[in-house]
Amino acid sequence: MWHSEHLETNTIHGGKDGQGQHGPLSTPIYQTSTFVFDDVQQGASRFAGEAGGHIYSRLGNPTVDELEARMALLEGTEAAAAFGSGMGAVSAVVLGLLKQGDHLVTSHRLYGCTFALFNHQLPAFGIEVSFVDLADEAAVRAAIKPNTKVIYGETPINPCLSVADLDMLAGIAKAHGITTVIDNTFMSPVLQKPAKHGIDIVLHSATKFLNGHGDVVAGILCGPKDLIDQIKMTTRKDMGAIISPHDAWLIIRGLKTLHLRVERHCENALRVADYLQSHPLVKKVDYPGLPGHPGYKLLGKQMKAGGGVLAFELKASFDQAVTFMNALKMCKRAVSLGDAETLIQHPASMTHSTYTPEELSEAGIPQTLIRLAPGLEHVDDIIADIEQALGAAAKQATQAA
C-alpha cells in the first residue's frame, strides 16, 4: 500500500492495494452482500479467523477496506472501522467500551443526538454519565471516579465551537487508565490529528467534510488495532450499523479533494466570522480562528486553522432570528456541514432540540444562536446573502418599535 509523509498525497493514494486484475484507476465498488468460498475448509478457516479473505459484507468488504485503510493513514492510527452513520459509530464505540456499572465523562455540549444517547439511553443500560466542561481541567479531574472508563468529547464542540485541550484530556485519562474518544468531525485530519496528542479513538461523521458533497451518511472510527478489531467483531457486527460499498466509494472519492476543500472552507469561515463580529446586530461570534476566541491559543499547537464552521449569537429577539433565517436566499437552511453549499441552522430548534430549555441554558446554547458552515461559493456572495438577511431582521425590529 502507498504511504507518504504528505497528507495531500495520502488522501488520493492511501490505502490502495495495487490496481487489481484490470488496472482500474478508480476504486472498484464491490457491490456484493456475500463472498464465495473455494471449498468448505476455506469457509471454515475464514470464520475461525485462521485465514484472510472476505465472508459477508457486514463483516468486511474490499471497497470498505480501502476507505478504512486510508482513514487510518490520514489520522495516524493503526486501524479504522467504517459505519452506516456517524451515530452508528458513536453508539458502537461507547457500547463496545462500556458495560453496566461503568462511568462516562463527557461534555455538557454535544451534538444533539449524541447528547440524547448519553443522557437518555446509556443510563437505561446502567451506565453512569457525567456532563462537564471539557475545556476546564479542574472540572474534568473532579468528574473522574474509580469506575470511569471513557472520556468522550468533541473539539471544537458542536454548536458553540469551544475547544478542549487534547493533551490535557489525554494526560488525565492515561493517569487513570481511561480510554479517550474524540469526535474530530469539525476539523478533519487536515487540521487536527487527535491521536498525535495521545487520544485513543478518533471519530468522524464522514457525512461532513470527509465526503463533502452532501450525498452520503456515514461514520468512521480510527484507533489502535486491538480496540478497532474488538468493536468490529462485537458492536458493529452484532448491531449492524454497516456502511454500504457504494457509500464507502463516495467517501473515497470525496477524500481526494479533502485538503483543497478544507482550505477554502477555512478561508471563507474566517472572512465571514470577521464580517459578523463587526455587525451591530451580532452580539457574539464563536470561531476558533479569531484572536479573541479562547481556543485561538491552540492554533499551531493542536489545530492548523480555525476550521470551516462558526456560530454567532444575534443581538435580537427569537422572532428576529427566525426572520433572519427565513430571509436567506443562497445559504441553505440545512443541518449539516462540510458541503459545497453554505449551510445554516438554528441549534436550539434543530440539531440540539433534544436538549430541554434548562439543558440548553446550562450548555450555553441561547435561542438566538445560529450555526453557519460556509461553503465553497465566493465568499463575497456568502457575506452579501447574510447581510441582506440581517437587514431584514433589523427592519423587523424597527417596525416593531
Alpha-carbon span 312 to 146, nearest angstrom: 39
Q: Is the dihedral of CA 271, 274, 280, 286 positive or negative?
A: positive
Q: Among 3.40.50.2300, 3.30.300.30, 3.90.1150.10, 3.30.2130.10, what is the CATH number of 259-400?
A: 3.90.1150.10
In Å, what is the CA distance from 337 to each residue of 161, 174, 299?
A: 13, 32, 21
Residue labelled with grid coordinates 489545530: 303
* 360-364 contacts, C-beta under 8 A, 24 or more apart: 362/108, 363/108, 363/109, 363/160, 364/109, 364/160
More confident residue, 384 or 364: 384
Strands (E), 108-173: 128-132, 148-154
Which numeric CATH code is attached to 7-30+61-255? 3.40.640.10
Q: What's residue 50's pLDDT?
A: 86
102 with 128: CB under 8 angstroms?
yes
pLDDT band at 128 (very low <50, low <70, confident <90, very high): very high
What is the pLDDT at residue 373? 98
Beta bridge partners of 107: 132
Residue with cell 466542561: 133
Query: What residues are annotated to the active site?
Result: 58, 111, 183, 208
- Which pTM does this prediction carry? 0.94
* pLDDT of 353: 85
Q: pLDDT per residue over 323-366, tens digit each?
A: 999 999 999 999 999 999 999 999 888 888 888 888 888 878 88
Could you please report the per-residue DSSP string of 193-230? -GGGGT-SEEEEETTTTTT-SS----EEEEE-HHHHHH
Amino acid making up residue 112: G
pLDDT value of residue 85: 98
Strand partners for 54: none
Instruction: For the chain, state the CA radius of gyration.
Output: 22
Query: What's residue 401's pLDDT?
Result: 54
> Mean pLDDT lowest for which of 12-26, 245-259, 271-285?
12-26
Grid cell 457525512 is found at 207
Higher pLDDT, 364 or 107: 107
Enter the C-alpha cell of residue 250: 463516495
Cα–Cα dist 309/319, whole Å: 24
Mean pLDDT across 14-28 = 78
Mean pLDDT of the chain: 94
Cα gap 262→254, rounded to integer Å: 11
SS3 content of the chain, % helix, strand, coil (to 5): 45, 15, 40
Average pLDDT over residues 2-24: 79
Q: Tens digit of pLDDT for each residue in 133-179?
A: 999 999 999 999 999 999 999 999 988 999 999 999 999 999 999 99
Q: Is 173:180 a contact under the CB 8 Å cutoff?
A: yes
Domain ranges of the chain: 7-30+61-255, 259-400
